[in-house]
Structure formats: structure tokens, C-alpha cells
Chains A and B, each alone.
Chain A
Amino acid sequence: QQQVKQSPQSLIVQKGGISIINCAYENTAFDYFPWYQQFPGKGPALLIAIRPDVSEKKEGRFTISFNKSAKQFSLHIMDSQPGDSATYFCAAGGGGNKLTFGTGTQLKVEL
């Protein structure tokens, strides 16, 4: 099963709050889990990525938490800002180099 399930579909967070987006996968051959940020009319931009040898990775306000046994991973955006309003995609890759993407989460950060 190549599917990556992402939730929620949309998310509204107050400025300064924590945004949390979750993804789950089935294929145990996946060994690379990136998150991409996409603004309207633009291409996806790599935000942060993790491999399954660690359970957490932090870069600035962005943290990936990874649970290998549950086959789940999540993106946490701390101190969310209006400029973070965008669509976020999780993805998974392994072996053949192609990425399997989730369906996306539209994040809106309100003042």
C-alpha cells in the first residue's frame, strides 16, 4: 500500500499557537519523510525531513515527531505566524526515489 494519509484537511490557529499536522503510512519500505510548504501559485518548498533512525528532528520553529512502530509522523509549528499560512504536504519515500504525498493541509494563522 503506497498511500500516505494526512489530517486535518484544514486548520486554523491563532498567532503564537502550535499547529499540528499528522500523517500515517502503510509501506514499511519508506525510509524518508519530508514535509513541504506550498504557497498559492508556487512550487512545494522543502521545510524539514526525517529518516526513521531518529524519533524527532527540530529546525527552528518546526519539529517532526516520528513513531516508527505506529507508522505515523507529525509536523509541529511552534509560535505560528500569519506568514506560515500555506498548504503543507507530508510525503514518504524509499527505494525507488519517488515520493508519495499526502493530500495536504491548508493552514491559516489568524491574528
Chain B
Amino acid sequence: NAGVMQNPRHLVRRRGQEARLRCSPMKGHSHVYWYRQLPEEGLKFMVYLQKENIIDESGMPKERFSAEFPKEGPSILRIQQVVRGDSAAYFCASSPLRQASTDTQYFGPGTRLTVL
């Protein structure tokens, strides 16, 4: 039973380019979360999605960042016109259909983005 899958694992972009990070949740999970981890820091919530819906994007920067979770295929976190400050590890987590006030979230291995 595969866990949360993320690709690519490492991504290098030059300033001004676009970065696309993909996340496939665990089988049977319909909720996806994206978090960002800066070096030596904890994880910061970015966005929470269900299939075809953004539920909470309160942690997303207002510009250049967007996320989607289409009916078919993985969730995508898109960063346009990347800047050096976007360099971080981006983690995706998934949880099953909501049963309690907060479900257990299972994390993927992350995508480490480096902006040159």
C-alpha cells in the first residue's frame, strides 16, 4: 500500500521560472494539504484541498502561488515567477474521509525546491 507520493523529489529553478510540484495522496484519501518547511524551521500550513475544491488557503501567499486537486490526477502546487525566498521543502499530506474534528495526516517525502 503506497504512501503519499510526491514528485519531483528535488527541483531546481532559476529566478522567474515556474515550479510545479505534484502530490498523489494515499489510496482512499480524499483530503490533501500542502505545507512549506524553511531550513531549521517547522512546517507552515499553506492550503487544504478536497477533490475539485479549495477548502482553506489561508496560508498561501497572495501572489504567484496556486493549488489544485482535480477530479482525476494528482494535486498540483504551482509557483509562478519563483524567487530565491521560495527555496524550501514542500510537503504534501493526505487524510481519509473526515471522521472526526481532525483526521490524522500522513506526509509524503517532500519536494526540495532550490531557486538559483
| Contact status B102-A97, CB under 8 Å | yes
Chain B contacts for A6, CB-based, 8 A: 42
Interface size on B, residues (CB 8 A): 30
Interface size on A, residues (CB 8 A): 25
Q: Does A62 contact B (CB under 8 A)?
A: no
CB-contacts of B35-52 with A (<8 A): 35, 40-45, 48
A4, B18: Cα distance in complex, Å: 33
Closest to A43 in B: B107
Q: Does A42 contact B (CB under 8 A)?
A: yes
Least distance between B95 CB and chain A CB atoms (Å)? 7
Chain A contacts for B35, CB-based, 8 A: 99, 101
A109, B58: Cα distance in complex, Å: 38
Query: 14 A-B pairs, CB-CB below 8 angstroms?
Result: A32-B101, A32-B102, A36-B107, A42-B109, A43-B110, A45-B107, A46-B106, A97-B48, A97-B55, A97-B56, A98-B45, A99-B35, A101-B35, A103-B42
| Contact status B109-A43, CB under 8 Å | yes
Closest to B110 in A: A43
In the A-B complex, the 9 residue pairs with the closest CB atoms = A32-B102, A93-B102, A101-B42, A43-B107, A98-B45, A101-B43, A103-B42, A43-B109, A44-B107
Closest to B103 in A: A97
